[in-house]
Amino acid sequence: MKKVFAHRGMSALAPENTLAAFSMCKQYGIQWIECDVDILADGTVVLSHDDTLDRCTDRCGSLYDLTLSDLSDIDAGSWFHDDFIGERIPTFEQLVTLANEHELNLNVEIKSCTAGWEMTDKLLTNVIRDLEKLNPERELIVSSFNHLALAEFKRRRPETAVACLFEDANLWDDWCSILEACQAEYIHPEDVNLTKEKVQQFKAAGYKINVYTVNDLARANQLFNWGVDGVFTDIANQFPSKYKK
C-alpha cells in the first residue's frame, strides 16, 4: 500500500512542526505524519527542523540554550499567518499524545544534534522514553541523516523500524553497507536525481523506499509506478484519496 507522509504536518496550510499542522491531517484523510525532533538544554525533546529559532519563530538563538519553561514565551506561528499567532513549539510528548488521539502513524526524524554526542545521546534516550507512550497499534518509523545516531537508536530499540536518510549529494555506492550497519528496513532518498534504476537497486536489496520531498503529483505518480512505497510531501491535502491510507 502506498503511503503519503505529511511532511512536518500539513505544512502548506499551517506552520511546520506545530500541533496545528499535525491536527489538520485527520480531516484531510492523512494517516502518516513526519516530524523532526531535537533537544533543549534541560533534556526536553521538541519538534523543530532547525537547531535555531530564527526561521520559524519570533525569536533568534539556539534550541540548546532553552528549557521547557521558555517555550510559553516563543511564538512559532505568526511567521506563517495571523491565524496561528501564539502557536508554540511542541514537545515530542505532546505529539505522541496527539498521534494517539487522532490515530496517526509517525515517521520521527532524529536531527543530527549539533550540540555534540552527549546531547545526541540524551536525545536518543528521551525520544525512546517518550515513544513508550505511543499506543502499540500506531505504526512507527524512526529516521536520521546521522547514521551513527540511527544505529545506536536501533541498538537500544530494535523493535522499531528505522530508515537511513540520504541527500542526493551523499548517496554514494556504499549506501547498502550503511543500511546494513544501521539494521535499517527503509531507505529515504532525496527526490532530486532519483532514477528508476536506483529505485530498482534499493528494491532488489530488499529495502522499502520513501522519497522526500515530493510536491508534484505527476512525479509522485511516477515514483509509485517505479515501486516506491511512500513519499513525503508538503501538499498532502492535494493527493488523491487512494494514497491517503
Q: Which of 7, 81, 147, 188 is catalytic?
A: 7
Taking CA atoms, 156 is separated from 11, 117, 183, 216, 230, in Å, by 31, 16, 12, 37, 26
Q: What is the 3-state secondary structure (H, E, C) of 108-126?
A: EEECCCCCCHHHHHHHHHH
> How far apart are the C-alpha atoms of 51 and 2, rounded to whole Å?
32
Number of other residues whose CB lies within 10 A of the CB of residue 95 = 26
> Grid coordinates 536531527 are at which residue?
111
In terms of C-beta density within 10 A (0-12 exposed, 13-18 middle, 19 or more buried), how is residue 242 classed?
A: exposed
Active-site residue, 188 included? no
Residues with a catalytic annotation lie at 7, 49
